[in-house]
Amino acid sequence: MSAHCQLTGARPGFGNAVSHSHRRTSRRFDPNIQRKRYWLASEGRHVRLTLSARAIKTVDAIGVEAAVARIRARGEKV
């Protein structure tokens, strides 16, 4: 599963882990990605979305129909 959100487009950030001796090594800051299944009433089927935790709260606020419309507007297939 790729670490990106279908709704917000959140992707991993990159930076450095800095040790006590101040040596730097590369690291990733991954978004909190979850797979969640929603009922899409307009199409009479379930859709499985890959969303960040923040995007799940957004879907709860705006509804799954509006969220799927936003995802499709970004050019992703649902």
The helix/strand count (H/E) of the chain reads as 2, 4
pLDDT (0 to 100) of residue 39: 98
Q: How far is it between the farthest Cα atoms of the chain?
A: 58
Give the tens place of pLDDT for each residue, 38-77: 999 999 999 999 999 999 999 999 999 999 999 999 999 9
| The model's pTM | 0.86
Q: What is the pLDDT of residue 76?
A: 93
pLDDT at residue 14 is higher than 90: yes
Nearest in space to 70 (alpha carbons), one of 53, 44, 45, 51: 51
- Answer yes or no: is pLDDT of 36 > 90: yes
Element (H, E) at 22: none
